[in-house]
Structure 1
Amino acid sequence: MELMKRKLVDITAPNRSTGIVNGESSNILNWDDVRFKWAYPTYKRMLGNFWTPFEINMSKDRQQFTELNSLEKESFLKIIGLLALLDSIQTDYASRAADYLTDSSLQALMIILAQQEVIHNHSYSYVLSSVTDKAVQDEVFNYWRHDPILQKRNAFVTEGYTSFAKESTVQNFLQSIIYDVILEGLFFYSGFAFFYHLARNQKMVATSTMINYINRDEQIHVGIFEKIFKEVLAENPEYDTEELKSFGTEAFREAAELEMEWGESIIGNKIEGLHMNELSDYIRFMANKRAEQMGFKAPYEGFRTNPMRWIIAYQEVDLGKTDFFEQKSRAYTKTSEANGFDDL
């Protein structure tokens, strides 16, 4: 079934949408009269989490970057280059998805989500401009063009997105959401682990702080697309098939294998104290977690507990934003549904 784009204004339709896709809506947003009760609390959380890279003092990271060993520098730059590519794609995907969501409240969430992806992408430029010169920055932003491992893992997601962009059917939309959750909920995680590992050794703490905020945003994004996925299936049960479930499980398995290959390339056992066997198990654990979150069978037997428990503290952010950017150690909030962090 083809997806119909949301009308700019429909004077004959109600303000409250009649469906998540291919429904009717005036496109006038009244937050007190929306179809999905979870939309407004999510909107408030996203606004409450607003941040910009300018808030983060990079002066100490600028000094420390020169003190990193060559392997740490190489991994640092390659991971920043990867994240910049993925969040650039996400900005565009969010706007394309928004075109087909009948409900105006969900379109509003997509606009904020896309804005956050722009901020994420800016943060990578901000980090690079703080620690290195323009020539290196340009090189980093072109890694995706020639690194074969990067090309393979990026093509996995971009081809799925492209299928939706070329043929906007319900089936392709559902599959594109699976790729979205993989990108935001799995593909970032070996890179995040690297930055958190540096931070626990009191290295590049400002960069890790920025990654904290990105990590927090991405987890909310995963939750939004999970809900959209399930709402589309609830309203169009003919698409809730065993084929889709099998597709989802296999997609998460393939994604995990690609993420482990990438992790081996950038980290391997080259970074002291960060072991590839633990990182691989962590990726399998996250693949299982994300697959089941979407309603699919876990791709791996076992891997039910997080083998890198230390990482939890570095994914929890002090939401007070007092003076913690200048602190050498961090004060963290307790993980809860209210602050939007995964219960890892």
Structure 2
Amino acid sequence: MTTPSVPAEEKRLLDPGFELTLRPMRYPDFYEHYRNAIKNTWTVEEVDLASDVADLAKLTAEERHLLGRLVAFFATGDSIVSNNLVLTLYKHINSPEARLYLSRQLFEEAVHVQFYLTLLDTYLPDPEDRNAAFAAVENIPSIREKAQFCFRWINEVEKLDSLQTKADRRRFLLNLICFAACIEGLFFYGAFAYVYWFRSRGLLHGLATGTNWVFRDESMHMDFAFQVVDTVREEEPDLWDDELAAQVTGMLEEAVEAELQFARDLCGDGLPGMNTDSMRQYLECVADQRLARLGLPIRYGSENPFGFMELQGVQELTNFFERRVSAYQVAVEGTVSFDDDF
């Protein structure tokens, strides 16, 4: 289908086509996201997992089960995000500035995949155990349900060549919100909580160090995606109606339940400072934060039960910058706040 030519001043972010010109720059904020991401560079080789190997021997059977399930989810989680980024977001967000950022995000997802591969090689020396972890999306019900949730929203838009109708654009917005708010913003944040629970008990410092850096990347990914949503809502306010708002709320409710099933699998009857009830409260708190960021009423009214997550926003990041400011950060400006995320 041939798309009629549209004057530059009338073009919108989701209009079909493949805009190539960076000047005049229509979306300078997206370009700033790209520039800030470049400053935020790290490599897997900087993560020292040596002490983690000794810590593995200290874990109880229940803790080993939790850690095994966690790394099994990590094994493919970022790969799913990468596929959607390439097949959907890069295809339909018609802004060269935004595509610069998405290209950088794809690199970061590749680094995350390498980090999790390294975790699996370190934590699961037996090849059969590693193979089982990579097959978790087929063989472990709690992980399979989360993967199917992701695939369903990919399938909603994967076959769309262009966003020609309002219905198509709403489907795209739901896909974008799903990956920002539910997958990167809820599934991954649930996983981060388990990591920092171990860290609060003096265990798996290498895992926590790498997760600090993944966490920062994911926060930036969400911020970019939500800014895309803000831009689309400003350009096409009629796309965002009560029906779409209800779909977003329902999507987050479903994501909370899927992640809670994962928590039941990981926590069993409960561990010291980590159990299904506390994780439910935490997930509800995070879901409310995502809804509030989208300008929607909160759904749960829950508070964060994990004091170690509040500490993460203050102590861990401070220590991290003191330790890695020259190697990891390159002239980062501004501040990082964890309040809205946790």
Among the aligned pairs, what percent are the same residue?
Answer: 20
Q: 1:123, CA displacement in angstroms? A: 0.6
Q: Which residue of 1 aligns with 2:136?
A: 143
> Alignment partner of 1:61: what SS?
helix
Q: Which amino acid aligns with 2:253?
A: R
* Structure 2 residue 158 is the aligned partner of structure 1 residue 161: no
Over 3 Å counting, the alpha-carbon distance change for 1:214 and 1:206 in structure 2 is: same
Q: Which residue of 2 aligns with 1:198?
A: 198
Q: 1:72, CA displacement in angstroms? A: 1.3
Q: Which 4+ runs in 1 deviate beyond 6 A?
A: none
**2:308 corresponds to which of 307, 310, 327:** 310
Equivalences for 1:227-306 in 2 at 5 Å? 227-300=227-300, 302-303=301-302, 305-306=303-304
Instruction: Return the alpha-carbon distance in structure 2 between the equivalents of residues 112 and 17 of structure 1.
Output: 28
Q: Which residue of 2 aligns with 1:27?
A: 20
Is the CA contact 1:17–1:34 (under 8 Å) kept in the aligned structure 2?
no
**1:115 corresponds to which of 87, 104, 107:** 107
> Alignment partner of 1:89: what SS?
helix
Q: 1:283, CA displacement in angstroms? A: 0.6
Is the CA contact 1:164–1:173 (under 8 Å) kept in the aligned structure 2?
yes
Q: Which residue of 2 aligns with 1:61?
A: 52
Alpha-carbon displacement from aligned partner over 1:235-274 (angstroms, at most 9, x marks no partner): 1222111100000111111111111121111124432222
Q: Which amino acid aligns with 2:72?
A: G
Is the CA contact 1:149–1:261 (under 8 Å) kept in the aligned structure 2?
yes
Q: Which residue of 2 aligns with 1:87?
A: 78
Alpha-carbon displacement from aligned partner over 1:182-241 (angstroms, at most 9, x marks no partner): 100001222211110111111111011111111111111111111111211221222111
Q: Aligned residues, how many? A: 322
Is the CA contact 1:216–1:341 (under 8 Å) kept in the aligned structure 2?
no
Q: Which structure has more RCO (C-alpha within 8 Å, separation ≥ 6)?
A: 2
Q: 1:149, CA displacement in angstroms? A: 2.1
Is the CA contact 2:196–2:308 (under 8 Å) kept in the aligned structure 1?
no
User: More helix by proportion, 1 or 2?
Assistant: 2
- TM-score, length-scaled by structure 2: 0.86
> Alignment partner of 1:34: what SS?
coil
* Structure 2 residue 174 is the aligned partner of structure 1 residue 175: yes
Q: Which residue of 1 aligns with 2:164?
A: none
> Alignment partner of 1:166: what SS?
coil
Over 3 Å counting, the alpha-carbon distance change for 1:279 and 1:104 in structure 2 is: same
Q: Which amino acid aligns with 1:29?
A: L
Alpha-carbon displacement from aligned partner over 1:274-324 (angstroms, at most 9, x marks no partner): 233222111111111111212222222x22x32223212325534865646
- TM-score, length-scaled by structure 1: 0.85
Return 5+ residue gaps in structure 1 as ranges. 5-9, 326-335
Instruction: Return the alpha-carbon distance in structure 2 between the equivalents of residues 26 and 179 of structure 1.
Output: 25
Larger mean Cα displacement after TM superposition, 315-324 or 95-104: 315-324
Instruction: Return the alpha-carbon distance in structure 1 between the equivalents of residues 128 and 278 of structure 2.
Output: 35
Over 3 Å counting, the alpha-carbon distance change for 1:17 and 1:312 in structure 2 is: farther
Over 3 Å counting, the alpha-carbon distance change for 1:321 and 1:138 in structure 2 is: farther
Instruction: Return the alpha-carbon distance in structure 2 between the equivalents of residues 139 and 40 of structure 1.
Output: 41
Instruction: Return the alpha-carbon distance in structure 1 between the equivalents of residues 72 and 293 of structure 2.
Output: 28
Is the CA contact 2:80–2:150 (under 8 Å) kept in the aligned structure 1?
no
Is the CA contact 2:197–2:308 (under 8 Å) kept in the aligned structure 1?
no
Q: Which residue of 2 aligns with 1:124?
A: 116
Alpha-carbon displacement from aligned partner over 1:59-90 (angstroms, at most 9, x marks no partner): 11122113212221121121111122221011
Is the CA contact 1:187–1:259 (under 8 Å) kept in the aligned structure 2?
yes
Q: Which residue of 1 aligns with 2:336?
A: 339
Instruction: Return the alpha-carbon distance in structure 1 between the equivalents of residues 17 and 73 of structure 2.
Output: 39
Q: CA RMSD in A?
A: 2.7
Instruction: Return the alpha-carbon distance in structure 2 between the equivalents of residues 149 and 203 of structure 1.
Output: 25
Over 3 Å counting, the alpha-carbon distance change for 1:144 and 1:24 in structure 2 is: closer
